[in-house]
Amino acid sequence: MIKINLAPPTAKTRSVAADVHLGVVFGALAVLLVVGPVLYALVLSVEIRHLQRDVERDQREITRLKPIIAEGQRYRQEKEELERRVSAIEMVARNQTRPAYLLDALADTLPADLWLTRIEEKSQQLRLSGSTYSSVTLADFMANLKASGKFTEVDLLESRQDLAKPTRTITFEVMCQFGI
């Protein structure tokens, strides 16, 4: 005999179906809680291996570049040393011409009866000592120094005449600045 149940489903049937679905959900959650960290650990270990390979590659590159960098630094030091030497040579060459210009300029300003016995130079200051027969010649010499344009701030520091000597020469000392 065949029985057909036409009654609506009872609440008991629903709870069994709900229990099955909740079991599947909690089972899937349990699997995710176990599998999720394992998968994350695998991803991290792969990334760690990639980073370690990058570090090893960078270390090899550093090892390869160290001699090249050292050579570049050595070249830079040699270049700086050469530049210092060249600038020292240029400075000496420039300073070698200064005395020649100074003596040339002085020769152009010297009157006939005036003799220079000493020339001292400290920085830009010149101290000229000498003798002459007349104070007019000394005044002409100082005027020539000023008029040359190469000597500035021309001052007479000392002028003496020795009356005990028969020639009566005047000894003098002049200070000025020489600029070229």
Model pLDDT for residues 78-103, shown as the tens digit of each residue: 999 999 999 998 888 777 777 888 88
**Identity (one letter) of the amino acid at 109?**
T
Of 127, 105, 107, the C-alpha closest to 118 is: 127
* The pLDDT of residue 40: 92
Decide if 168 contacts 162 (C-beta within 8 A): yes
- pTM over 0.85? The answer is no
What is the C-alpha to C-alpha distance for residues 165 and 152, in angstroms, rounded to an integer? Answer: 34
Regions in the chain scoring below 70 on pLDDT = 10-20, 180
Decide if 134 contacts 170 (C-beta within 8 A): yes
* The pLDDT of residue 162: 77
Decide if 129 contacts 115 (C-beta within 8 A): no
